Amino acid sequence: MSRSTGEVRWVADSIDYDTLEEGEFQEVWKRAIQGVIEELLPSITEAELEREILKFCGLWSANA
């Protein structure tokens, strides 16, 4: 249940990323980012969260 809206959401058991098409993956990514912002980090922007994830994975450089 969303703390901010009270909306009840279904939670997937798992996601088989190997079988996702690019568009499907982008939708999963978008919803995951939105969920983290809504439920855990409401003071951070989408761009800031994505940058931090990429930095954590070693995929972001300040020079890029």
pLDDT digit string, tens, across residues 2-55: 777 888 877 767 888 899 999 999 999 999 999 999 989 999 999 999 999 999
Q: Is residue 5 part of a domain?
A: no
Is this model's pTM higher than 0.85 or not?
no
Compute the distance between CA of residue 37 and CA of residue 43 in angstroms, rounded to an integer: 8
Q: Are 44 and 37 in contact (CB under 8 A)?
A: yes
- The domain containing residue 42 runs over which residues? 22-56
Provide the token pair at 24: 């499907």
Max Cα–Cα distance, the chain, nearest Å: 41
8 part of a folded domain: no
With a CB cutoff of 8 Å and minimum separation 6, the contacts of 1 are 7, 8, 9
Count of domains for the chain: 1
39, 33 in Cβ contact below 8 A?
A: no
Q: Is the residue at 10 inside a domain?
A: no
